[in-house]
Amino acid sequence: MSPDSSLLTVGVPKETSAQERRVAVVPADVRSLKKAGFEVLVEPNAGFGAGFPDAHYVQQGARIAADRAELAAAEIIVHVRAAAADPQQPFAVGERLRENQILIALCDPLSDPRPIAALAERRVTTFALELLPRITRAQSMDVLSSMATVAGYKAVLLAAEESPRMFPMMMTAAGTLTPAKVFVVGAGVAGLQAIATARRLGAIVYAYDVRPAAREQIQSVGGKPVDFGLESAEGQGGYARAMDADFYQRQQAAMAKVVAESDVVITTAAVPGKRAPLLISNDMLSGMSPGSVVVDLAAERGGNCEATRPGETIDFHGITVLGPVNLPATVAHHASQMFSRNVTAFLGLLKKSLPQLDTQDEIVRDTLVTRDGQVVNAQIRERLATPVS
Ligand code: NAD
């Protein structure tokens, strides 16, 4: 508890996973949090991996705890990854929390709801940031968009690193080099950032999305939309909806030629709450030239590419297929900066709603997943009632 009893303490732990270099709050946001009525208590070295030493937090008015155990005094704990969002150790964060503590984190509650049930049992109040409604008022809190921006950028760098080609056109005394052809499948937040990044490197970028609205957005970042003559698969809230096997077969057939002609394919297609659609079959891969590269950003959600192995880079008859996981952690400084800004905005809203949580507010209601020993989100309760496959 903070010395001034009207202030709430926000605890900033070091992330529990060894590969996770991000931190949930960066020094630059400590002052805003204090202005909003929070004290900030930081576990030693919490920001070190992202390039934020303890001294910078202290300069901005945060306190460094003696150790992790001291964070038990904080009313609120903000993590980057907790529950199923940290698949290697989904129960680790919960085991360190105490009754009535508030947890704010990415929790991936729909892929595995069991860690959420464990948080409820411990009587922790949990907010899962994936469940933020995509409304204008919540844009400043939209962690998924921030992390997708980072992932889209980094995917292009991984592809450029693996590719035996340079991306820009070059006219040199040793002849003219043609620009790389990049095809981006799925033009949501990550896809649009991938298009913009590949364009900055000088590639020619084609892109496709099942939502007709994406066409204009692709053009606005310098990409060339490809039209396969398929029907729209736009669903609720501007997201794609799941289609039947026949649609995906027709999509694969239509895309095969563009895939074969591309030096790099970056796939980002996702349907909320579902396995990622399978869009690039092994047959389609076989049509690509040796040395081509596929980066499958949907690897963690089942993959858009049949050959993808999450967390691995494989050689498929001369085609390199990358299935990166947790890419934002590899750009930890800026990913933390964005996450922290989002979470600071969320805490600002939450402060107005405490101590009684105002579940009339759509943002509070949608993100709240456990409270008073119960899982309070209907979709998660439903998932808990069905066995995890
Ligand atoms: P996402 O991660 O759920 O999916 C990525 C993309 O894959 C989407 O554009 C989707 O249409 C596409 N896709 C799905 N199936 C496909 C298929 N078979 N073939 C090709 N593409 C396929 O999406 P996202 O990046 O989170 O964004 C989804 C939408 O939400 C976009 O319209 C985005 O602009 C919008 N958005 C709105 C806000 C807001 O606050 N208003 C914030 C972020 C995103």
**For 61-107, what is each residue's pLDDT tens digit?**
999 999 999 999 999 999 999 999 999 999 999 999 999 999 999 99
Question: Annotated active-site positions, please?
Answer: 134, 139, 142, 145, 239
Atom of ligand 1 nearest to the CA of 192: 25
Expressed in angstroms and rounded, the spacing between residue 239 Cα and the centre of ligand 1 is 5
**Residue 380: per-residue pLDDT:** 94
Residue of the CA atom closest to atom 37 of ligand 1: 134
Atom of ligand 1 nearest to the CA of 279: 18
Expressed in angstroms and rounded, the spacing between residue 200 Cα and the centre of ligand 1 is 22
DSSP-assigned letters across all residues of 95-143: HT--TT-EEEEE--TTT--HHHHHHHHTT-EEEEGGG---SGGGGGG-H
Q: What is the pLDDT of the chain when averaged over all its residues?
A: 95
pLDDT bucket at 2, cuts 50 / 70 / 90: very low
pLDDT bucket at 4, cuts 50 / 70 / 90: low
Atom of ligand 1 nearest to the CA of 234: 11
Expressed in angstroms and rounded, the spacing between residue 196 Cα and the centre of ligand 1 is 16
Residue of the CA atom closest to atom 2 of ligand 1: 270
Report DSSP state, residue 274.
S
Q: Is 185 in the pocket of ligand 1 (CB under 6 A)?
A: yes
Q: Is 262 in the pocket of ligand 1 (CB under 6 A)?
A: no
Residue of the CA atom closest to atom 36 of ligand 1: 134
Residue of the CA atom closest to atom 8 of ligand 1: 188
Tokens (6 digits) for 75: 């009313």
pLDDT bucket at 111, cuts 50 / 70 / 90: confident
For 281-305, how does the pLDDT look when each residue is reduced to its tens digit (9 = 90+)?
999 999 999 999 999 999 999 999 9
Expressed in angstroms and rounded, the spacing between residue 248 Cα and the centre of ligand 1 is 17
> At residue 389, does pLDDT exceed 60?
no
**Residue 388: per-residue pLDDT:** 56
Residue of the CA atom closest to atom 31 of ligand 1: 188
**Residue 1: per-residue pLDDT:** 47
Tell me the β-bridge partners of 42: 12, 64
pLDDT bucket at 238, cuts 50 / 70 / 90: confident
Rounded distance between C-alpha atoms, residue 237 and residue 123, angstroms: 32
> At residue 175, does pLDDT exceed 50?
yes
Expressed in angstroms and rounded, the spacing between residue 240 Cα and the centre of ligand 1 is 6
How many helices (H) and strands (E) the chain has is answered by 12, 17
